[in-house]
Structure 1
Amino acid sequence: MRLVKPAWVKHEDPINKRRVPIFSVHVHPDGSRVATGGLDTKVRIWATKPILKKEVEETATNKILCTLGMHSGPVLVTRWSHSGKWLASGSDDTVIMIWDLDPNGGGRVFGSDEVNIEGWKALKRLPGHESDVTDLAWAPEDRYLASVGLDSLVIIWSGYNLDPLIKLDGHHGFVKGVTWDPVGQFLATQSDDKSVKVWRTTDWGLEATITKPFEDSPGSTFFRRLSWSPDGAHITASNAMNNNGYVFVAAVIERTQWKSDINLVGHENTIEVASYNPHIFLRNANAAATTSNICSVVALGADDQSVSVWQTKHARPLVVAREVFDRPIMDLAWSWDGLTLYACSSDGTVAVFDFEESELEGIVPHSIQDEYLKKFGFSEQNAEIRAEQLRQKEAFEKAQQAPPPPQAPQPLTNGALEAYVPGQQQVTITKDGRRRIKPSLIGHLSSSGSTIHAASAPTIPTSSSIATASASIPTSSMKIPPLSNASPNTSLADAFVTAPILPFTHTVDADGDLDMSVPIDAWGPKGESATKVNLKARTLGGDRKREPAGPVRELRAAAGDENAIIVGARVLDVPGVKSSLSCRVEGSDKDADTVEIKNGESVEKPAEINYYRKSETCWLDYLPNAALQVVATMAFVAVALEDGAINFYTNTGRRAMATVILDSPCSHLEASKHFLLAISATGMVHSWNVRTASALFPPVSILPLLSANTSIDSVQLRANGSHLILLSSGIAVSYESSLMSWTRVSEPRWADGSDSWTGRQRGPSSGRGVLANMEVALTEIRGEDGDTSAIRRPQWWNTALTLGHLESRLAAAQLLDSPTEYKQALLLYAKRLADEGFRTKAEELVKELCGPLYYKPGREDKWQPTVLSMNKRDLLKDVLGIFARSKTLAKLGQDYQEVLKKANEKDDY
């Protein structure tokens, strides 16, 4: 995968020239253009070649093709029609605009120095909403256009003449997302009333209302953009919650039953948008496209400023992109070939994730997808609205029998006249008895009309030139392909002709780029490949079958214990040498990957490490010494040897980094993601980032924290590299590299008096965070000896310990990268301050979250606006809400709510 973030794709404030948020991004079906909408009230159309090809970016001058400025408010959504002929945009000004290409247009943008290379004009203005238009979606074959807005309405527009057909008013809150069933049978919408509603297209009645996944979802998200899978089987809805509102998920809703039993978990803040790849994928690329063999790829964008890409056959995401954006993700859009994902953010930037076909394995051509969708057997011929549209089409067909208007001369293209082809049309009879008119190439109208060259074959055009409208428009060596399947006559009368969906073809374009599609004849009648060629590469040990490990026996004590005793150092427990070791690979699909080590009982038989995927041997290696411990993640495998060395392997068997030698054999070994933690027998703690082959901090001894009665109970390593060591005394510690000191994360006395101690709770650990699990573990370590409830305590004991405990939890949540528990502790802390009326502590907390309101020359501003990827002022809103409802801190909360409101009004975002 290649990540591209073009700095020149932006919307700017016309006064101060700063970036402004981009609310929507959508790529044209032929992949040549991408449209964005932003806070500057503009729709901008960009060429994609300079984005995707570095050599074109360096030479191209015409990177922005057109700027459209008919809206009077921020543009919240842009959507190309499936035919690529029209572009729809929705805005804060309550209006939907339909844009059409006019080759005779172009020229300078009014009131600006910008020059439009392409001349897009407003074809029709669609008023009807009474508030912001938040999302748009074109139905299959562009039969309808659906729009939703903050007026709680869903409006269906005719795809033939763009007239309003019906208003659906079933929602009771802001509607912020809409998507069509690829079969055409249903429409789904998502609203702030915490529901997803599914509507039938036959009579526009309500099919189902889904509320359970959204009962605890916040109403503060900008959008709730949902998406329907290309196989028609599922809807993935954004802004869902689990665990009473503490886990942010995307809900996967099943077709027909309309239940959500599957969630996509992992984002650390609300999910704004879901977007399915337009292709279906095969679990087994050599089998047929049956229901059991089909999966999908879906992308999620969230307020935690990250984008994740999931393939539904895996339990974990394929890609998680963090630190790409500085603010929440607003929109996602896949290219028609399914290999490029576009994302935009409120920080005013656009990022492009360009995949290789091998990374999204099993991609299926759209032709096979179309055949698969026929299994639903849906027909619309009985719908009342469809009948009305058929009458309109019949009237149009009669009008077509009249003599065509006089032909105007064709516009010049590249300085030469193109040959004129007389207009023809092909009439076909569909299975349900309806006639379908397919125009081939209609003569050009007058220059005032829109004139677009049609593709002569159902393939994606490679390159062409835009008609030169005026000699004053600068030219470029970069060629922009014409819009595919677009009729030369784009008046509203032509809109009655059903717009075909752009087909996916496999050719080699003018730039030499190979097509990524799968040929249709690759699947035989039984799903077998037409050509059976064994192209499987060899691996070391890959041709050997997996052997059973047998019973585990302890061969001997680890050599090194005696040596440590001789030099007088304290010795931590070191595992003995066993006949075999094994571990599951963290993060592998259903724990299918396993690492097994067989230690030799003699020098003649060396230790052997094997990496298995189910029963298949992926690779093997021989170790210089017996192995004591082994850990593995999807990033690396680490083996601690008897002589104190640690070997690192990638998951293909290569050496990930140099062999590390400890001062003594390893006592504890833990791995997570790209990080490894090791504690030697002499108490030296080491931590590495294996991906960068670097240490997180210099080796540090834990022996000062231990005593004759205190030992290490367990060691935990987090995905961000932070660690947690639980001692038998009931204390949890972690080494903080920025402080160059050990820090106490938790201690026994919090359990004695804090009302917020969670260690007494029972239940499954999967739903708890790292701090809650730590407190449960510490409670179990102390056991009954830690019960001090009968001891008489001072008056303020519980209050003091509760506040101290929550303050420690806030620091620990930051250290261990647990945003959910940080927010939970913050709100509990605010509630306790409000209940006790501690104004000074409350005011200090407010100032810490609010930060500086005004610029002061000479002041060194060290305040950070976010904590754990959460905006501090957003957290402050929740805290002030708690204070405002209390008796003693009501005025403080209300005063700062007003201050925060004014500060946000002055913020130029």
Structure 2
Amino acid sequence: MLIDKPEWISHGDGVAPIFSVDVHPDGQRLATAGGDGTVVLWSVGNIFARLGSGKGAIAKRAKKKKKDQAAANGAAAQGEREEKENDPPANAVSSASNKSSDGVSVSSATTTKYANAGVERVATLVDHRGKPVNVARFSNSGRHVASGGDNHLVLIHELRPSVGASGNGFQFSSNASFGSQSHKNVENWALCSTLTGHSNNVVDLAWCLDDTMVASCSLDNTVRIWDAVRGTLITVLQEHTSFVKGVVWDPVGKYIASQSDDRSVVVRTVEGWETVSHVKEPFERAVWNTFSTRLDWCPDGSHITAVNAYNKPKNTAAVLMRGSWKRENDYVGHKGPVVAARFNPRLFRVKDDDGNKYVASCTALGAQDKMVTVWMSRKARPVMIAKTFFNQSVVDLCWSPDGLTLFAASIDGTVACFAFEEKELGERLSEREVHEIMEDSYGTARLDRTGVAEDPALMELEEEAEPAAAAPAAAAPQKKAEGAKEKKNSGAAKRPAQKSTAGQASVLVQRETVRQSDGKRKIAPVPIGGTGPIQRVAAPSGAEQASMSSPPPTPKRPKKSKPSETSGSKPRPQASRSIDPEVLAAMAARSRPVVIPPACEETRPRLSVRISDARVCEVQNVEKDIVGVPRELRISSAVQCLEGTKAVWSDKHLGTTVRVAAGCDGYLALGLGGGVLQVYSRQGLRMWAPVSLGAPLSFLELRRVKREGEEALGGDLLLLAVTTEGKLWLWDLEKMKCRLRSDIAPVAVGEGSHKVKRVCLSRAGLPLVVLGSNRALVYDSKLEAWVRVADGSHLHSEFASGLSPSSGSGQGELGGLQAGAQQAMASAAGPAARTLNMVTASEQRRATGRHLEFMTSAAGCLGDSASQLDWCSKLAKFLAQEGDQGKLREVLDSLLREDKRALKKILAAIASVRSVQRLVSEYLDMCSHVPEALE
């Protein structure tokens, strides 16, 4: 290993702190952001040239050193001879990298070009106007660099051609005014976007995979998502309650995660920006005033390394596993809070203690104890500890694209470079191997992302030929999440067409724009399912339940069909009558099936589910490669329940695979291929005979639900199952009794949606369905019907802006559902939303009344008595202020019959409204005559 601290990398003549460091995707430039208000781009090649020649190198670790003090002189002499023999020439670092099998390395030509010219500083960007710059990040394409600082701005600079060219290949700018007065810029990085909106310092930012969006986080407690192409705001994520100091995108493209001083990590979906997890446990005893909390995501998407965690008695970095979002383990060893984590962009093949090879990720940690550590997954000890290189906290880290060089920045104003040899970290996997790992885990390769049509005329032609779909929840660039298309069947096309044949689904082909590895774009055909009895579409990312819209119909020339098939051509004995063509078209539109994707790919090799605090069940699907043997004889699934490392029980299924699993209180439910459900007891007993549900499972949830007022009792263990055809079952597992059987497909169609986003149990144990429009419905057992509990029709209400999509925002489960529906409605309105919101004061008051009535009844349907009382109190006060004593009496009469305590609370809330004093006194008097049983 070679280590250096280039003294010429500094800000403010060495007196200003450095807050951020990042490497360009081509490995030639290093960006630093500092307290002097500038972003400086440096020559990486010049650093490597110094390392290779030994100039400036402050440490070199030999393979072996004898520590026998008696032979110290001899050992030192031997060390000098080895160093002379092994010392590389000027380009040795990059030359060694070029020997890797996959050819990813720091270019030796680039190193020579930079070193020969003696270039150190490539460009200085001063558009933050002297305010400290806290973060700088290159885009994945390398064309842009984004930065954020104490001026509350996010600035995006673009690399542009310059007038002249130097002999070393640099493009020298003829205008030095855009850079520092004391340093001439070698490259022309021009400001192209200024993103305004944050009300406090910007601490961290990140580019999405295809560079169309930038996420920034700030001390204003928000994460803002920007359209990097248009320079406009897409959405504001407001779940955190304190300074947000770290943000990162999921490498698969489905999630975004942020970390805050409120001692939590929030994970959200990219499509719809819905919160899927709010992780608090690892950070409950964490320090709250660190400079940053820069978490990072593993390159294969399997886990997040979250910083500033605490596991008594040490400060740690917590590993949060994808899907469960629970702490799997910790990186333990730092004496101060860990404030930055950065994964190596490469995966490595390493050996465990038994000599067996496995694929590992590598992550670097920086902490306030002035240390840098480098860890390999599944290893208990770090592979590198750097203790004495910095005088103050290490706040940012980055890796070179070849994965062999680590840069660390400290607020002491210095940057250190650690150049590894490949044998020190392990054998690097090639891009093809990483491609296969991603494909096995998520059904698609990380590199195959959606792109932009090469010719804009093609997009115009598609828009003319097919009706535009309704606008989704976020603005135009939200389609990033759809980049993870399934390996077998792509259901994420924007405007798919349908065509029905006689009794079976036909396959159409639609063009889709994709970006190739070389950056070029092409039009690729995508298969699209038709309107068969039910269309089954694989989910975009394995076991995680993704949503997918049903393709709208496109008029096609009808095909001839046999008279015996149900194509509408067979004569009917009923009397004939004419039907208006418009009515017929509306009926046909409503008859389209709801598409609910299966929970995961059948070929997913492994599943894991926690069934209790101490036990985890692991499933391994196996398919043997035997020529000439039917597939049903070659596939099997092995199920094993583990308590720590000890196997508690195991089972095996032959001729099928496990596609989805759910567990609670030691019980386990498995969804097998073909729509078969298998349930296990705590000791692994097959409680039920295999239950055939008729179609693959899309959603499976097992949860113990305790009713309000019965917390001391055990509660009911409920199992919810939903198939791809929309059939829903709810069982009481321990009583082996079916509580509900329903069909959500016609309900969703009736609501005007052909997309089911989520089906789950509410907090009260009721089946809850969230549609693609973010409308939510819950099953009311008293009415024996699906009741709508969230929609976006209340945008004009005075209470609409106070709702947050987070169910933990103080508004409860109902508030989160309603806010999501309103957000989707506002996004669908697009630029017209502002015009639509211009209503008179009287119209707004009427809208507020409708909203409060809706929320009160919806909370009751959800079984949330606390939320219902809150909304009922607001409704009563609103009616009192409006002088609507007729409706107010109906509300109070209902409470007088059902809940005397709630009535007293509401009477207290409206007592300050003088116009209803007599009414309040009347009902207070009636309360004294109500039987105590209603108390």
TM-score (norm 2): 0.41
Output the TM-score relative to the length of structure 1.
0.42
